[in-house]
Structure 1
Amino acid sequence: MIAVTGATGQLGRLVLSSLLGRVPAASLVAAVRSPEKAADLAAQGVAVRKADYSQPDRLRTAFDGVETLLLISSSEVGQRAPQHAAVIAAARQAGVRTVVYTSILHADRSPLMLAEEHRATEAELRASGLGWVLLRNGWYSENFAGSVPVAVEHGAVIGSSGTGKVSAASRADFAEAAAVVLADPAAHLGQTYELAGDAGFTKAELAAEIAAQSGKPVVYADMPEVDYAAALTQAGVPGPFAQVLADSDVGQSKGALEADGQVLSGLIGRPTQPMPEMVRAALAG
């Protein structure tokens, strides 16, 4: 039996969708905070169980009978390390054999603020005695898609990434890789996969592509980290998260979001989503 945490989230749903094409629905568990949001999964034959990262006493029951668990990292930055530790402890108590974890690209050496909790979780998992697989996911293309119409409106893509590249891929690409591993965990046991898009791009290249496809003038405006964080806050991004995003952009300038090789496309057996395709879809609405 395979369980997916955060199964009603954007990544979790895509993982389950991919798994449903690979294994019987009866072998799948959607571990979710709000079971009522998973009615569509239940209708497809997936078992739905309540599993809240912040309620560790209920997690063990959610994992009963599960052999392989996908731990999708929590969305609560700052609370991830203890939440993930609770999931790992419950998995061990429930007799789970293998935990597959969605970490961050280059977690062991990444300068990003976001990497610290991922490093802590990786260490917790390695020390747990459980079998493990680390999926170090790079940036999602969707992280940029939402800003494409805004860039057309204002004539600029903004950031603090300089000439640094990001090797982004779609959530569907990363989800499919997770499904490949979950469907045959023994073939991937103890592996650390640095997962990223086939081709990296700078924000200046992103701006140029938006301009070419929209027919509107769009340029990249590079700015100091503090100014970018302030611009994000002014746009409605909560202050602490705006700082995280600005820090990540600076990390991009240092190569933290770029990866060589084609590990992700190798796992899924096809090319990852190219940046121009993401722009095209974003402009189409």
Structure 2
Amino acid sequence: MSIVVTGATGELGRLVIDSLLTTVPADGIAAVVRDKEKAAGLAARGVELRIADYDRPETLAGAFHSGDRVLLISGSEVGKRVPQHTAVIEAAKTAGVAQLAYTGILGGPDADFALADEHKETEGLILASGLPYTFLRNGWYTENYTANLAPVLEHGAVVANAGAGRVSSASRADYAAAAAAVLTGEGHLNATYELSGDTAWSFAEYAAVLSEETGREIAYNDVPAAVHQEILVAAGLPEGFAAILVDVDRAIGRGLLAGTSGDLARLIGRPTTPLAESVRTALAAAKA
């Protein structure tokens, strides 16, 4: 039996494996990856590589073994995720895995924005499979905002169409630690966790944190959805992806990403990473 992480060379996957390696011997961990060379660093740490591709179901036949505990990290290609996830679920069922954990989205069936649709459908497919599951309904990563601070600092403004809506974000490492906890612990089968940061913040508060940490005046510009769409497209984002981000901001304005259940902190055994700490980390990385 191994603990198996799919999408293991992605930003979340690598952090999950980092977290697992603090308590699990490397030979008890397997990474499902498309590119062996990209995963060379994992192999060098003693992690088993299993080469497979979500888009080629036949390659998944050997990705899982009976009794494995598997983390299905959702695909990154919006619009393609349901068939990709279906292939993984079917392979996991055929292999007879002991647990299939899935990284969905905060709110599950109550998340009524477009980005949630494939996650909700995937949860339904997992339930229909009969596999023992764990639903990790991840809220927003703080890095969704802090990873690209350059335009914010250049223009002195955080731009969104979220009104006074709040976001209960946490660091990607926090969510990775939670995934590691449910893969290594007991009592998580057929359980659902609504994962989010301990404190929800508004974009005005985010701008204030940026101002304090940089010593510069950073404003929050709340703009109409159509204007935000135009700004994002002008910045180089594809129209479809820009529309998804605008739709997410509408959901934030409706309070759908503000939940603070405490599940994340309970799973990782500590408070979630504060917004200001993530901002400081991002600013330091930008200077390096």
* TM-score tier (shorter): over 0.9
Structure 1 residue 65, shift from structure 2 partner: 4.4
Structure 1 residue 262, shift from structure 2 partner: 1.4
Question: Which amino acid counterpart does residue 219 of structure 1 have in structure 2?
Answer: A
For residue 190 of structure 1, what is the aligned residue in structure 2? 190
Q: Answer whether contact 1:32 1:52 (CA < 8 A) is retained.
A: yes
Partners of 1:132 and 1:65 lie apart in 2 by: 15
Q: Answer whether contact 1:152 1:217 (CA < 8 A) is retained.
A: no
For residue 208 of structure 1, what is the aligned residue in structure 2? 208
For residue 43 of structure 2, what is the aligned residue in structure 1? 42
Give 3-state SS (helix, strand or coil) of 2:281's partner: helix
**1:221-258 CA deviation, whole Å, 9 max, x = no partner?**
11111211211111111211111111101110011111
Q: How does 1:168-179 map to 2 (within 5 A)?
A: 168-179=169-180
For residue 19 of structure 2, what is the aligned residue in structure 1? 18
Give 3-state SS (helix, strand or coil) of 2:37's partner: helix
Instruction: Give the stretch that moved more between structures: 161-170 or 230-239.
Output: 230-239
Structure 1 residue 164, shift from structure 2 partner: 0.5
Structure 1 residue 66, shift from structure 2 partner: 5.3
Partners of 1:14 and 1:66 lie apart in 2 by: 23
Give 3-state SS (helix, strand or coil) of 1:237's partner: coil
For residue 104 of structure 2, what is the aligned residue in structure 1? 103
Q: How does 1:78-89 map to 2 (within 5 A)?
A: 78-89=79-90
Structure 1 residue 128, shift from structure 2 partner: 0.3
For residue 58 of structure 1, what is the aligned residue in structure 2? 59
Partners of 2:175 and 2:194 lie apart in 1 by: 11
Question: Which amino acid counterpart does residue 208 of structure 1 have in structure 2?
Answer: A
For residue 146 of structure 1, what is the aligned residue in structure 2? 147
Partners of 1:60 and 1:121 lie apart in 2 by: 20
For residue 229 of structure 1, what is the aligned residue in structure 2? 229
Instruction: Give the stretch that moved more between structures: 38-47 or 11-20.
Output: 38-47
Question: Which amino acid counterpart does residue 31 of structure 1 have in structure 2?
Answer: V
Instruction: Give the stretch that moved more between structures: 69-78 or 256-265.
Output: 256-265
Q: Answer whether contact 1:140 1:168 (CA < 8 A) is retained.
A: yes
For residue 258 of structure 1, what is the aligned residue in structure 2? 258
Partners of 1:147 and 1:38 lie apart in 2 by: 25
Q: Answer whether contact 1:134 1:192 (CA < 8 A) is retained.
A: yes
Partners of 1:261 and 1:87 lie apart in 2 by: 29
Confirm whether residue 115 of structure 1 aligns to residue 116 of structure 2.
yes
Structure 1 residue 152, shift from structure 2 partner: 2.2
Give 3-state SS (helix, strand or coil) of 1:192's partner: strand
Structure 1 residue 129, shift from structure 2 partner: 1.2
The CA RMSD measured in Å over matched residues stands at 1.1
Confirm whether residue 164 of structure 1 aligns to residue 168 of structure 2.
no
**1:83-125 CA deviation, whole Å, 9 max, x = no partner?**
1011000111112121000000002111221111000000000
The runs of at least 4 consecutive aligned structure 1 residues that moved more than 6 Å come to none
Structure 1 residue 36, shift from structure 2 partner: 1.2
Partners of 2:238 and 2:282 lie apart in 1 by: 24
Give 3-state SS (helix, strand or coil) of 2:74's partner: coil
For residue 275 of structure 2, what is the aligned residue in structure 1? 275
Ranges in structure 1 where 5+ consecutive residues have no aligned partner: none
Partners of 1:203 and 1:147 lie apart in 2 by: 15
Partners of 2:46 and 2:95 lie apart in 1 by: 22
For residue 217 of structure 1, what is the aligned residue in structure 2? 217
Ranges in structure 2 where 5+ consecutive residues have no aligned partner: none
For residue 93 of structure 2, what is the aligned residue in structure 1? 92
Partners of 1:149 and 1:277 lie apart in 2 by: 18
Structure 1 residue 58, shift from structure 2 partner: 1.2
Give 3-state SS (helix, strand or coil) of 2:137's partner: strand
Q: Answer whether contact 1:149 1:283 (CA < 8 A) is retained.
A: no
Q: Answer whether contact 1:8 1:37 (CA < 8 A) is retained.
A: yes
Structure 1 residue 148, shift from structure 2 partner: 3.0
For residue 245 of structure 2, what is the aligned residue in structure 1? 245
**1:142-166 CA deviation, whole Å, 9 max, x = no partner?**
0010343322221110001100000
Give 3-state SS (helix, strand or coil) of 1:249's partner: helix
Q: TM-score, normalised by structure 1?
A: 0.97
Partners of 1:244 and 1:66 lie apart in 2 by: 38
Change beyond 3 A, Cα 1:146–1:40? closer
Partners of 2:197 and 2:168 lie apart in 1 by: 5
Q: Answer whether contact 1:148 1:279 (CA < 8 A) is retained.
A: no
Partners of 1:147 and 1:30 lie apart in 2 by: 28
